[in-house]
Amino acid sequence: MSDTVKKRIPVWERSPYLCVWLQEMAEQGLVLKHIGFFSCEFEKCAPQKRRYRILDKSYFSMNDEEKGIYEDAGWKYVPDERSGVTIFTTDDEDAPELFSDKESFRKYKRNKWIGSIVLIIVWTYWAAKAIWNAYDLFQGGNYSATYGRLHDFDGEPLYLLVVLGLLLVIITGIFLYSVFREIQLIRYNAKTELPQYDNIPYDDKRYLWEKKANKLWTAAIVIVIAGLIAAWIGMKVNDYSLANGVEALKYNGEHPVMLREIDPDTWAEAVPMIENWNTEEYVDDYDIDYMTGKDTGGCFSEGYREQLYIGRIKGEAEREDETFLLISTLHSYFSGYHVARSESIAEEYLGEEVAYDLYGKVEKGAWSKALEEVRIECDGVDYAGYYTTEDADAESYKECQHLLLRKGKVIEIVSYQGPVDLRDKIKLYVDDLS
């Protein structure tokens, strides 16, 4: 049977009650042998009265004279992995206190106020930043509902955003509690009385409250760490497997309906350009983007995409001290096959797609109205919609066609600029949904 025991530190390391807890452990037959970052190692022995004192400075930052004074007075240094504080112990009931007068104690503690005030400022800043980030995540910034709430959350796994939101709430609480603890420490240190750790009962209300509060603090830290690990794993698991360029030409998946099926002539023209996009013949004059593969977002359990864009580079322009390329569209095709997590999500997602194209933004409730505006008759599906938008920069086909189909919770979204009328090929897409 081991002669040592490890216990989690139940109070804040800079709290005066750390000494009280260590003395309580000694009376239970556990004498401190070593103090780590989150736990203490105790040596089993007969219950005894043992005194402990804590200094808010590293033992290794003390000069030899200061160390000698404490050791000559009967106080022994306890090895500490965390160099932020120093623990001294003695079993001599008559050993003098580390501070023998009020003024020296107050002077020592007063010097620590500056550090506490700095920490308060830092903790307050990070708490405010966490609150702002939470607001920005769901309301104000990247995820504002200009393109629709489902589209906004579709860029990341939905659960990941929920995890991040909860973590931000917890982190905010941690920072605010840190501010509170620093203020409490300043109030304690401002007292004129010398500390009387030996006289604090183990059922002291503030001591018991400190232990409960630290449990919540520790739990919050564990949740944050676990949440970050889960988020990281989730990002890895949900990695998209889209291929680009020549690699994308190798895709032979069952979904979606490919450009070669509806417009073989355009496809025959596009293939050599994709294969040679980085050669001297094309790289300076054309902007070529081709992607295929798995495309699963937060709203979908399964998804596949083909995306083609070929544009001719016409020159450069400047705007607000920024240089950008002038590109005219030659060929454009997007086809996305998605299995939504529910029929209602599938329907609303299609509605957001239409509403954004028609209205420029997606206001609350606008998506259902938009779906009705573009609805067309089509057998074999629960919904079919068709509409066109204008591309002023296109060379040959300035009209971009949009076709949207839904069967249950499965949808297919198509955008195309070319000579073929998508409505003439609608059976291909209906069959793909089946």
**pLDDT tens, position by position, 234-293:** 655 554 577 888 898 999 889 999 999 999 999 999 999 888 877 777 666 778 889 999
Structural domain includes residue 97: no
Coil vs helix vs strand at 420: coil
In a domain, 96, yes or no: no
Q: Is the pLDDT of residue 114 over 70?
A: no
User: Which residues lie across from 416 on neighbouring strands?
Assistant: 333, 401
> What token pair was written down for 362?
């997606």
Residues 263, 350, single domain; the answer is yes
| CA-wise closest residue to 194 among 112, 92, 96 | 96
How is residue 415 written in tokens? 């955008």
Percent of the chain with pLDDT over 90: 24
Looking at per-residue confidence, does 190 or 55 come out higher?
Answer: 55
Same domain, 319 and 222: no
Specify whether 255 is located in the same domain as 213: no
Pick the last residue of a domain from 58, 90, 122. 90
Q: What is the mean pLDDT of residues 9-27?
A: 84
Q: Is residue 49 part of a domain?
A: yes
**How far is the C-alpha of 323 from the C-alpha of 78, rounded, in Å?**
64
Q: Average of pLDDT values for 108-120?
A: 66
Q: Looking at the structure, tell me whether residues 248 and 341 fall in a common domain.
A: yes
The mean of the pLDDT values for the chain is 79
Does any domain span residue 12? yes
Name the residue range of residue 129's domain. Answer: 102-237
Q: What is the pTM of this model?
A: 0.56
Could you give the number of structural domains in the chain?
Answer: 3
129 & 203 share domain? yes
Domain boundary among 90, 112, 142: 90
Phi (first) and psi of residue 385, to 5 degrees = -135, 145
Distance, in Å, from the CA atom of 51 to the CA atom of 93, rounded to the nearest integer, reads 8
Of the candidate ranges 144-148, 200-204, 397-401, 427-431, the one whose mean pLDDT is the lowest: 144-148
Query: Of 292, 299, 294, 291, which Cα lies nearest the Cα of 155?
Result: 299
Distances (CA, A) of 145 to 136, 164, 274, 311: 12, 18, 35, 30
Residue 412 lies in a domain: yes
What average pLDDT does range 133-146 have in this prediction? 51
User: For the residues 201-224, what does the mean pLDDT come to?
Assistant: 81
- Asked if the structure places residue 95 within a domain, the reply is no
Give domain status of residue 272, yes or no.
Answer: yes
Q: Are residues 172 and 308 in the same domain?
A: no
Question: 324 CB contacts (<8 Å, ≥6 apart)?
Answer: 316, 317, 318
The first and second tokens of residue 142, run together, are 């990247």
**What's the CA dihedral at 112, 114, 116, 119 to 10 degrees?**
-140
What pLDDT was estimated at residue 220? 77
Q: What's the Cα-to-Cα distance from 293 to each of 16, 65, 255, 307, rounded to whole Å?
A: 60, 71, 9, 10
Secondary structure (3-state) at 219 = helix
CA atoms of 87 and 75, how far apart (whole Å): 9
Question: What mean pLDDT is predicted for residues 367-394?
Answer: 90
Q: Is there a single domain that holds both residue 350 and residue 379?
A: yes
Instruction: Based on the fold, state whether residues 394 and 287 are members of the same structural domain.
Output: yes
Shared-domain flag, residues 268 and 408: yes
Site of tokens 């219950």:
47
Encoding tokens for residue 368? 């259902």
Joined together, the tokens standing for residue 96 give 């003098």
Q: Indicate if 73 and 203 belong to the same structural domain.
A: no
In a domain, 132, yes or no: yes
Rounded to whole angstroms, the Cα distance separating 165 from 229 reads 15
Out of 90, 124, 143, a domain closes at 90
Please tell me whether residues 216 and 265 are part of one structural domain.
no
Going 415 to 418 to 423 to 427, the CA torsion angle's sign is negative
Cβ-based neighbour number of residue 315 at 10 Å: 7
Are 251 and 307 in the same domain?
yes
Closest CA to 70 of 87, 49, 93, 85: 87
